[in-house]
């Protein structure tokens, strides 16, 4: 039985930040991430008829995006033959440096941290989707984008007191939502 | 000059604590909060959680799309929907 509905007019407001964070950690380039998200939305529109409603809209969009990201790397790999290899080790005293760099393998730890941070980021966005949309938007502007209180108040036509009440509610809801896995 | 109220209630303390997370609490609010926290275990717990939440948000290094980027996607979706309706 289908339980989820589809409404493309709300995709950008509801899912763009989630899709963006999902993509940027995988491609590490803002422009490419934007292109992949555009392609995902357009592919989603074209295959809307195939949406059975068994998964949520967001899960369905992520599955399309995953394929887009894989395609992106496939295309990149097909160009690999044209790549140049740069070696910057010099002769003389520094000859042995490369060996030490190989031994001190920093990658695993960094990769592990990055994965955990990504997972945390997605959990935060997931929790924000569950709260009042306007509160979530104000919270993101203030906390993630660092927009000035005055600017947000003007844009939403609210007083600073209103803003702090909204921020308080969003923070309380977010902490409660994250509590089980992250606190 | 009107004298600042020395003791604040829990609602005001939580508000000062929230402002503090964004470095927007002024000197008086910081003092009022510290005085309140010294006496109130419930708000101390809130303050600890709030600080932990800020740490988690910073650690996640979240990014948001700009309004221009969002507008661009909205337009593309709108145009595509119009096209499919007219076909």
Q: What is the pLDDT of residues B53-72, one digit of tens each?
A: 999 999 999 988 888 999 99
Cα(B35)–Cα(B5) distance, integer angstroms = 12
The C-alpha angle with vertex A107 and arms to A106 and A113, in degrees rounded to 5, equals 100
* H or E stretch at B44: helix B41-60
Chain B residues close to A12, C-beta within 8 Å = 70, 73-74, 77
Chain B residues close to A21, C-beta within 8 Å = 62-63
Chain A residues close to B52, C-beta within 8 Å = 175, 183
Cα(B82)–Cα(B87) distance, integer angstroms = 9
Together in a domain, A123 and A68: no
Look up the CATH number of the domain holding residue A5.
1.10.1740.10
Hey, are the CB atoms on A149 and B24 less than 8 Å from each other? yes
Cα(B21)–Cα(B11) distance, integer angstroms = 16
Q: What is the DSSP letter of B68?
A: H
Together in a domain, A71 and A1: yes
Look up the CATH number of the domain holding residue A182.
1.10.10.10
Task: Kindly state whether residue A99 falls inside one of the protein's structural domains.
Answer: no
Task: Kindly state whether residue A72 falls inside one of the protein's structural domains.
Answer: yes
Number of domains in chain A: 2
Together in a domain, A71 and A119: no
Task: Kindly state whether residue A138 falls inside one of the protein's structural domains.
Answer: yes
Task: Kindly state whether residue A174 falls inside one of the protein's structural domains.
Answer: yes
Task: Kindly state whether residue A131 falls inside one of the protein's structural domains.
Answer: yes
Final residue belonging to a domain, choices A57, A80, A103: A80
From the number of C-beta atoms within 10 Å of its C-beta (0-12, 13-18, 19+), residue B61 rates as middle
Together in a domain, A119 and A62: no
Task: Kindly state whether residue A94 falls inside one of the protein's structural domains.
Answer: no
Which of B19, B64, B80 faces A164 most closely, judged by CB atoms?
B19
Cα(B16)–Cα(B34) distance, integer angstroms = 10
Size of interface A-B (CB pairs under 8 A): 90
Task: Kindly state whether residue A71 falls inside one of the protein's structural domains.
Answer: yes
Task: Kindly state whether residue A107 falls inside one of the protein's structural domains.
Answer: no
Hey, are the CB atoms on B65 and A117 less than 8 Å from each other? no
Contact between residue A89 and residue A98 where contact means Cβ atoms under 8 Å apart = yes
* Sign of the dihedral defined by the CA atoms of residues B43, B13, A165, A21, in that order: negative
- ipTM for the assembly: 0.83
- Enumerate chain A positions whose Cβ falls within 8 A of a Cβ in B: 8-9, 11-13, 16-17, 20-21, 24, 34, 37-38, 41-42, 45, 117-118, 120-121, 124-125, 140-145, 149, 164-165, 167-168, 171, 174-175, 178, 182-183
Domain of A76 in residue numbering reads as: 1-80
Per-position pLDDT tens, chain A of length 183: 567 889 999 999 999 999 999 999 899 899 999 999 999 999 999 999 888 888 899 999 999 999 999 999 998 888 765 555 455 545 555 554 544 444 545 556 677 777 888 899 999 999 999 999 999 999 999 999 999 999 999 999 999 999 999 999 999 999 999 988 788
Chain A residues close to B50, C-beta within 8 Å = 171, 175
């Amino acid at each position: 039985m289908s339980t989820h509905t589809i409404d493309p007019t709300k995709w950008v407001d509801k899912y763009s930040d989630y899709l963006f964070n999902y993509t940027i950690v995988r491609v590490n380039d803002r422009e490419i991430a934007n292109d992949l998200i555009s392609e995902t939305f357009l592919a989603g529109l074209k295959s809307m008829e195939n949406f059975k409603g068994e998964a949520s809209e967001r899960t369905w969009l992520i599955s399309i995006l995953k394929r887009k990201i894989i395609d992106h790397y496939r295309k990149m790999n097909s160009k690999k033959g044209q790549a140049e290899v740069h070696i910057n080790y010099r002769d003389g005293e520094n000859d042995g440096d490369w060996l030490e760099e190989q031994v001190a393998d920093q990658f695993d730890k960094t990769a592990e941290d990055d994965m955990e941070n990504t997972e945390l980021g997605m959990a935060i966005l997931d929790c924000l989707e569950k709260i009042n949309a306007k509160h979530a938007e104000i919270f993101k502007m203030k906390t993630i984008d660092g927009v000035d209180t005055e600017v947000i108040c003007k844009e939403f036509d609210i007083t600073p007191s209103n803003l702090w009440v909204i921020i308080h509610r969003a923070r309380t809801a977010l902490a409660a939502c994250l509590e089980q896995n992250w606190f | 000059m009107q004298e600042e109220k020395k003791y604040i209630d829990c609602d005001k303390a939580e508000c000062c604590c929230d402002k503090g997370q964004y470095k927007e609490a002024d000197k008086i609010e910081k003092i009022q909060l510290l005085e309140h926290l010294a006496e109130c275990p419930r708000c101390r717990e809130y303050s600890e959680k709030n600080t932990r939440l800020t740490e988690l948000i910073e650690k996640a290094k979240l990014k948001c799309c700009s309004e221009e980027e969002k507008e661009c996607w909205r337009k593309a979706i709108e145009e595509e929907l119009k096209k499919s309706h007219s076909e």
